[in-house]
Structure 1
Amino acid sequence: MGTGQARRGNTRRRIQDAALELFSAHGYEKTSLREIAERLDVTKAALYYHFKTKEDIVIGLFEDAAQPIDELLAWGREQPRTTETRTELVRRYAEALRNAESLFRFVHENQATVRDLSIGEIFKRRVRELFDLLKDPDAELVDQMRCLTAVHALHAGQFTVQHVEGDPEEKREAILRVATELVTAANPPHRRPARPDSAQTESP
């Protein structure tokens, strides 16, 4: 990457970071592009060079955060449906969420706004695909709920555990452990229904 490209990339990242701070502090709707420019001490024209609207900023943030998740989903599609695959999906997804913690805090605090933006549906599609990869195709309803709860635990754990006493790293590990236990418990081999050709015929 040339010096000019690196500089543009750095400015773009600074704009996104400043916007996230203001969105979290004042809300998406109450934050203007002018305020973002003032926070960075740049002109609105300089801001427009990178982003024309606030939604463009959020879309850019999601595209950056979505790349490791998309790579994870692509990896998961190529793997066998085993407990090891599921637990690795959970671990890597938790890591991706942690790396984009500021963005997902914004999503949590601005849920109504995100639903109205184009990225809302895109994010939900990724969550649904992760859920499909975590559960067996013929999973019982209770096991589907375990997998779904595991995903929501990872999401909620980014925010709700802030009010729980304890070391932040230990809390993250506890959340990951809970999610992993839920996925591991879902449809274990000893509870899978017997194949039709293996069923014993009852005596008359």
Structure 2
Amino acid sequence: MTSGSPPTAESGDTRRRILDAALDLASTTGLRKYSMEQIARTAKIGRATLYLYFNGREALIAALVEAELARYFADIQSVIDRYQDTDDRLVHGFAAAYRGLHHHPAFTTVLRVNPELLVPYLIADNSTAMELARAFVYSAVREGELPDDVRAQFAEHVARAIHSFILIPGGVLELDSVDGPENYARRFLLPVRRALSGDR
């Protein structure tokens, strides 16, 4: 809550309901048109209660994006953690990252309707999404498999690839085929990692 009081189970539940309501509306209308009144109605709370948690639309959007990014990258990490082999971790982590955004109802709607609202979170300098993407790729490549600086560079390379495929869809790479993301990772990402590690 914006009052600074410690969170309780009830306050956490209300906050989650507010964010879920915002997510539902973003999935259908994007982020430009909805109002705080609409969020309150959808969450079945009073407008005054809504403002106890978020002091305005921008604060609510920021919290929604932060929550969804956290959930998105937690899902990717759970996929990576199923595998021991670095190649498998990269292939399936990349595939989960691509599909997670490509099939996210709210993200795809906002990207189509008002993409400018995503710029601070996705493609601005030191954007949250880019930082988190680098972190997940970095974790997929185990410590010692690449020098730390090269590992960080490879992580950024993969993170930027994911961003570009989402923001500029289409092309001849067939990423939307059944095994498209996995095939891309095997053909284009694994050879780069192996070349960097000297394992050819």
TM-score by length of 2: 0.57
Deviation at 1:125, TM superposition (A): 1.3
The answer to whether the aligner puts 1:62 opposite 2:65 as a matched pair is yes
Residues 62 and 119 in structure 1, CA contact (< 8 A), matched pair in contact too: no
**Residues 190 and 154 of structure 1, relative CA distance in 2, 3 Å threshold:** closer
Query: Which of the pair has more CA radius of gyration?
Result: 1
**Residues 7 and 160 of structure 1, relative CA distance in 2, 3 Å threshold:** same
Task: Look up the equivalent residue of 1:151 and give its one-letter code.
Answer: I
Counterpart Cα distance in 1 of 2:177 and 2:195: 30
The answer to whether the aligner puts 1:122 opposite 2:128 as a matched pair is yes
The answer to whether the aligner puts 1:86 opposite 2:90 as a matched pair is yes
Q: Deviations over 1:55-81 (max 9, x none)?
A: 23223323332145157569979x988
TM-score by length of 1: 0.56
**Residues 182 and 148 of structure 1, relative CA distance in 2, 3 Å threshold:** farther
Q: Deviations over 1:97-131 (max 9, x none)?
A: 367x1342255343322334699621121233345
Q: How many residues align?
A: 180
Residues 102 and 108 in structure 2, CA contact (< 8 A), matched pair in contact too: no
Please, which of 151, 161, 166 is the counterpart of residue 162 of structure 2?
Answer: 151
Counterpart Cα distance in 1 of 2:140 and 2:59: 32
Residues 72 and 93 in structure 1, CA contact (< 8 A), matched pair in contact too: yes
**Residues 122 and 152 of structure 1, relative CA distance in 2, 3 Å threshold:** closer
Counterpart Cα distance in 2 of 1:107 and 1:153: 16
Deviation at 1:191, TM superposition (A): 9.2
Unaligned 5+ runs, structure 2: 1-7
Identity of aligned residues (%): 14
The answer to whether the aligner puts 1:105 opposite 2:108 as a matched pair is yes
The answer to whether the aligner puts 1:173 opposite 2:179 as a matched pair is yes
Residues 26 and 106 in structure 2, CA contact (< 8 A), matched pair in contact too: yes
The answer to whether the aligner puts 1:20 opposite 2:55 as a matched pair is no
Unaligned 5+ runs, structure 1: 165-169, 195-204
Task: Look up the equivalent residue of 1:55 and give its one-letter code.
Answer: E
Deviation at 1:22, TM superposition (A): 5.5
Task: Look up the equivalent residue of 1:64 and give its one-letter code.
Answer: A
